Structure 1
Amino acid sequence: MVRTGEWVDVENGWLDRRIFWQDDIYALELERIFARCWIFVAHDSQLPEVGDFLTSTIGQDAVIVSRGEDGKIHTFLNSCSHRGNRVCFAEVGKARRFTCNFHGWSYGLDGGLKSVSRPQSYDGKSNFDKAKLGLHPARVESYKGMHFACFDPAAPSLEEYLGDFRWYLDVILDNDEGGIEFIDGNIKSHLKCNWKFPAENFVGDSYHAPWTHGSALIAMFGKAPTMRAERSYHANVNGHGWEFGLDFIGNAATLNSPQIIEYLRGQETKFAERLGKVRSRMVGSLSSANVFPNLSFLAGHNTFRTWNPKGPSETELNTWVFLNANAPQELKDEYRRGVMLTFSPAGVFEMDDGENFENCTSVNAGVVTRRQMLHVGMGLDSQIDHDELKGNVYQSQINEANQRAFYQRWADLMGAETWADVPVR
């Protein structure tokens, strides 16, 4: 039995540093978190037509995500059933089939085995059954255009997994009748850090912003932003979390584009009619969020990001820009430029964050260092009741409530033999 209580003490706000460094803990994460949670794999707009595909990873399992002949999104292992070779080497494209370059086994857009080279070589005693030799599939379920995959047949539905956090996701996914679309392309980069550091940063760490990004904010605007505790919150459900103010344009303003502010102001009444007053104030606000385990986003900046683990001390970051599908093309170009300025490998904010994430990881190489606990006790007594906000709500976005919820969910999953043992929080 895994004794996760030794690693995470949420009640008192302590974390064991070993969870960011040890190989055996990382191996268990791949098994009990990434192999059985719902992991974001694609948005509808990335795969609009039959045959469109992209390749990604779920944990360290390589996968192909494709639009099948049935019009549905399929996700399956990118590893041939014959000798295990990678079947598809392209990051994105259009295909009719996926054919392994080792022995010529060919698979359909749904992952099913379609043909093999020299089929006459498989006689009646070869135990060859096409129906059983397709690329191993994951379950795929969707929420408002966002497709998630899960390899655990016992996992709850995506709807149950997200729970009331869907109410928050609608702030960005459904503030316009046309929904969102991903702007073509993505930025892929690598960080020498444990995947949990950036994920927990986005789930709840506004504390760092005025300090870490202070010089960049002063250079851009002459001052760092002021965060008002009485108008800001942490909210979490099942380890998913969003820290936010109700300032409407705080994040969007850092993109340094008058056109973006003008667009948001022009849509303000429409947002309120669709979402209600409180949620409409979150659309472009100072905020950050994470869908457990590794899908983060910034409202206002309009960027989704995934933190894909590549070992206990390396993370692959994928960054996309999204916008309401009905928005004009010139606005989409403005958001793309704004994200490049702020949250790209050369962005003024991402360089600050990446350095912190990498140093938070590398310093734990020390034996004595790893024996020291980390403190995440800010706001232990700050939970409140709120008439409108869903889930577990805490006063002030300067808080560590969402980070504690993130690590509690991590510990629940790491310590559970099956999904039936994972509590709803």
Structure 2
Amino acid sequence: MLTRSSPILSDGTKVSDLINLDTREVKMRVLSDAEVYQLEMERIFAKTWVFLAHETEIPNAGDFVQRDMGSDSVLVTRDNEGQVHVVLNVCTHRGMKVSTLDAGNTQAHLCIYHGWAFKPNGDFIGAPVEKECMHGKTMSKAELSLTKARVAIYGGLIFATWNVDGPSFDEFLGDARFYYDTLWCRTTKGMEVLGPPQRFMIRANWKAAAEQGASDGFHTLTLHRWLGEIGPYARKPGEEGGGADLTPEMYGIEVWTDHGHTMRCIDLNRKVRRITGKDPSELTPQEKLTVLPPPGLTPEMIPDVVSRLSPEQIRMMSSNPPQVGNFFPNGLFEFIYLPTPDGKVVGAMALHTYVPVGPDKFMFMNWILAEKDTPPEQKAAMLRISCQLLGTSGMVEQDDSDTWPHQTIVAKGAMSRNITLKYQARFETGAPEGWPGPGHVGSGFTKDDTNWSFWTYWHELMTRNG
């Protein structure tokens, strides 16, 4: 039995008992249970803000893309006034998908079943043979419009929610906005997608990927060990930290919020010192940003960045910028500094979503981005290296996506479904002295607190009444 006021599974297990908040454990069952999955669609994906697309995917009036909010297909559209809308892709006549296309351009979305037509904003236009009034007279045209979601556009990112009277998007971002602004809102012209998103299906539960995306650092040392052996972090013999040791990359500052948003902020001092030969304390934040621009930026773009952000944000960007993190519930971003054989640094900027398709299946979607003002040759280099490492066939994502199906299969076992995922490595140090940003902060070697914040907010939403 599943009820909104008392989430109890058919075998009598309370959803609240699937997570032990005191010992920081999560039963494996949550990665396979069909009833849990259905509750997630109702209590998480129908209630929270979900990332769907980037504005530059629909630049013109009439442009649209088809996406999914949990288990619901939606159309993300742009009307003649330039406004962006998100509407349920289900015809109000007989439940046919209004559009079966991944993307396109039209001023009227025409259902192929009976020909009902809808504007980009979801308003019902009419049915064929207007004088015969196929749609009847019981309901008005307004009542026959497509279901409309609330929409928020942030730094070009399009989010939506069905929770029309719920928390605002700003409330949802909360403390994470201080950090996200330095990624998505750092230049005047903003970002663009470098082509449509890559996508492929994975036979795994969406949370196996999403909780790792919540800034899990430990797996890098083992699952991605090749990065230090033969990859971009391999160092020449005799260099400090040489060999296959990725440990230095595991030190930094990690941030998590009450709404499950997280990020890993990596110390740049070693890189700045290597490039300049100076102690980073001798340089101003703007000077450090100029000698080592954030991924996707050039030295010429730094004055624009400095003019748009606060001094505290600039100081954080120049010392410990967020490089990997997530949007709760199912988004992950990567803004990574990647050294090249010629000694230069190429930035990789990617955004993933893990779109649920069932309790043991999800669609992996990957957008590769660049600032609009980034020189074409740099965009080409970013696209190439992002695809090689972070794309659907990228070497990093092949590592990650190999683990998730194994976890999901294990979660179905009669015994192993009750084994627990453990998040018991905790930061014992808070924010370093002078840390400029808000949120929950830990410093030092990576820990489990970010992943655990994903689960605590998941638990809150899944057990909340109403």
Please state how far the C-alpha of 1:346 moved relative to its aligned partner.
Answer: 1.9
Structure 2 residue aligned with 1:153: 164
Does structure 2 retain, via aligned residues, the 8 Å contact 1:227–1:245?
no
SS state of the match for residue 386, structure 2? helix
- Equivalent residue letter for 2:180: L
Please state how far the C-alpha of 1:397 moved relative to its aligned partner.
Answer: 5.3
Structure 1 residue aligned with 2:195: 184
Does structure 2 retain, via aligned residues, the 8 Å contact 1:234–1:396?
no
Does structure 2 retain, via aligned residues, the 8 Å contact 1:246–1:278?
no
**Take 1:76 and 1:320, find their aligned partners in 2: how far apart are those partners?**
22
**Take 1:210 and 1:123, find their aligned partners in 2: how far apart are those partners?**
63
Give me the TM-score of the superposition, normalised by structure 1. 0.89
Aligned residues: 408
* Aligned: 1:376 with 2:414: no
**Take 2:134 and 2:31, find their aligned partners in 1: how far apart are those partners?**
51
- Equivalent residue letter for 2:218: Y
Structure 2 residue aligned with 1:67: 78
* Aligned: 1:356 with 2:403: yes
* Match for residue 441 of structure 2 among 393, 397, 401: 393
Does structure 2 retain, via aligned residues, the 8 Å contact 1:229–1:395?
no
* Aligned: 1:342 with 2:378: no
Give matches, 1:218-237, under 5 Å. 218-221=229-232, 222=234, 223-227=244-248, 231-237=252-258
Does structure 1 retain, via aligned residues, the 8 Å contact 2:297–2:374?
no
| RMSD, aligned α-carbons | 2.5
Q: Which moved more, 1:20-29 or 1:111-120?
A: 111-120
**Take 1:200 and 1:56, find their aligned partners in 2: how far apart are those partners?**
22
Q: Which moved more, 1:306-315 or 1:379-388?
A: 379-388
**Take 2:213 and 2:295, find their aligned partners in 1: how far apart are those partners?**
26
Structure 2 residue aligned with 1:299: 335
**Take 1:268 and 1:120, find their aligned partners in 2: how far apart are those partners?**
59
**Take 1:167 and 1:102, find their aligned partners in 2: how far apart are those partners?**
47
Please state how far the C-alpha of 1:57 moved relative to its aligned partner.
Answer: 0.3
Structure 2 residue aligned with 1:421: none
Please state how far the C-alpha of 1:266 moved relative to its aligned partner.
Answer: 2.8
* Aligned: 1:21 with 2:32: yes
Structure 2 residue aligned with 1:288: 324
SS state of the match for residue 302, structure 1? strand
Structure 1 residue aligned with 2:146: 135
* Aligned: 1:409 with 2:457: yes
SS state of the match for residue 355, structure 2? strand
Larger Rg: 2
**Take 1:416 and 1:35, find their aligned partners in 2: how far apart are those partners?**
14
SS state of the match for residue 98, structure 2? coil
Does structure 2 retain, via aligned residues, the 8 Å contact 1:268–1:280?
no
Structure 2 residue aligned with 1:247: 268
- Equivalent residue letter for 2:181: D
**Take 1:96 and 1:76, find their aligned partners in 2: how far apart are those partners?**
14
**Take 1:132 and 1:376, find their aligned partners in 2: how far apart are those partners?**
48
SS state of the match for residue 189, structure 1? strand
**Take 2:82 and 2:44, find their aligned partners in 1: how far apart are those partners?**
29
**Take 1:90 and 1:263, find their aligned partners in 2: how far apart are those partners?**
32
Please state how far the C-alpha of 1:245 moved relative to its aligned partner.
Answer: 1.0
- Equivalent residue letter for 1:233: E
**Take 1:53 and 1:38, find their aligned partners in 2: how far apart are those partners?**
19
**Take 1:242 and 1:336, find their aligned partners in 2: how far apart are those partners?**
23
